[in-house]
């Protein structure tokens, strides 16, 4: 059986990952609306990743004989400004997710739920990757602001993102 507080926090994390999925889906639509299909593709792949993040938690709760509780998903914004502003928001959101994962690990340890703390290590590593991806793209967008590359070049690069394994 899952500890009640841990179960509640895991369910909250499902909601945060589903919101991430929703947020990036909104960014994908926004990118299309401003003529950036490569950005739209990149965010659509990220949506798939977020769904995986949510489903891994869903499976874990069920495998531990806990109960999944699906909460309401907040409505994401529709407008995200320049590509740079959009990726700064993405990075900020992922940093928030990283902190929430750390809090979840902390709670598991306080509740002496070593198994959940161990399970969450996958997310700790995944968050390093997520933040790095965003920082890389922000660096490219800085190059664009300094006229070192064009937005079309970055868009073409982002169009190459592969689906999650
Ligand atoms: Fe995520
Ligand atoms: Fe990832």
104 CB contacts (<8 Å, ≥6 apart)?
A: 9, 10, 13, 116, 120, 123
Return d(Cα 17, Cα 110) in angstroms, integer. 23
What tokens does 154 get? 């970055």
How many C-beta atoms surround the C-beta of residue 23 within 10 A? 23
What tokens does 164 get? 């999650």
Residue 165 lies in a domain: no
Q: What confidence tier does 10 reach under pLDDT thresholds 50, 70, 90?
A: very high
Q: What is the pLDDT of residues 33-71, one digit of tens each?
A: 999 999 999 999 999 999 999 999 999 999 999 999 999
What tokens does 2 get? 């899952």
Residue 163 lies in a domain: no
CA of 121 to the centre of ligand 2 (A): 14
Among the bound ligands, name the one nearest to the CA of residue 50. 1
Residues with CB under 5 A from ligand 1 (ion): 17, 20, 50, 53
Q: What is the CATH number of the domain that holds 152?
A: 1.20.1260.10
Residue 21 lies in a domain: yes
Mean pLDDT of the chain: 97
CA of 107 to the centre of ligand 2 (A): 24
Q: What region does 82 belong to: left with phi over 0, alpha with psi -120 to 50, or beta?
A: beta
Name the burial class of residue 51, with classes exposed (0-12), middle (13-18) and buried (19+) by CB atoms within 10 angstroms of its CB. middle
pTM of the model: 0.96
Residue 164 lies in a domain: no
Average pLDDT estimate for 122-144: 98
Return d(Cα 94, Cα 96) in angstroms, integer. 5
Q: What is the pLDDT of residues 11-38, one digit of tens each?
A: 999 999 999 999 999 999 999 999 999 9
Number of domains in the chain: 1
Q: Which domain holds residue 64?
A: 4-158
Name the burial class of residue 43, with classes exposed (0-12), middle (13-18) and buried (19+) by CB atoms within 10 angstroms of its CB. buried
Among the bound ligands, name the one nearest to the CA of residue 56. 1
């Amino acid at each position: 059986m899952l500890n009640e507080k841990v179960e509640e926090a895991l369910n909250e994390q499902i909601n945060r990952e589903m919101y991430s999925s929703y947020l990036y889906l909104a960014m994908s639509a926004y990118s299309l609306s401003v003529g950036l299909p490569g950005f739209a593709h990149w965010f659509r792949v990220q949506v798939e990743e977020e769904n995986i993040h949510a489903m891994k938690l869903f499976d874990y709760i069920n495998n531990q004989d806990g109960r999944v509780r699906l909460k309401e998903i907040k409505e994401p914004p529709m407008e995200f400004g320049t590509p740079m502003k959009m990726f700064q928001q993405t990075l900020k959101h992922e940093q928030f997710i990283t902190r929430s994962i750390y809090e979840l690990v902390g709670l598991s340890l306080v509740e002496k739920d070593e198994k959940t703390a161990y399970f969450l290590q996958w997310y700790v590593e995944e968050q390093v990757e997520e933040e790095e991806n965003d920082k890389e793209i922000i660096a490219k967008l800085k190059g664009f602001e300094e006229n070192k590359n064009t937005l079309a070049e970055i868009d073409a690069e982002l169009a190459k993102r592969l689906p999650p394994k």
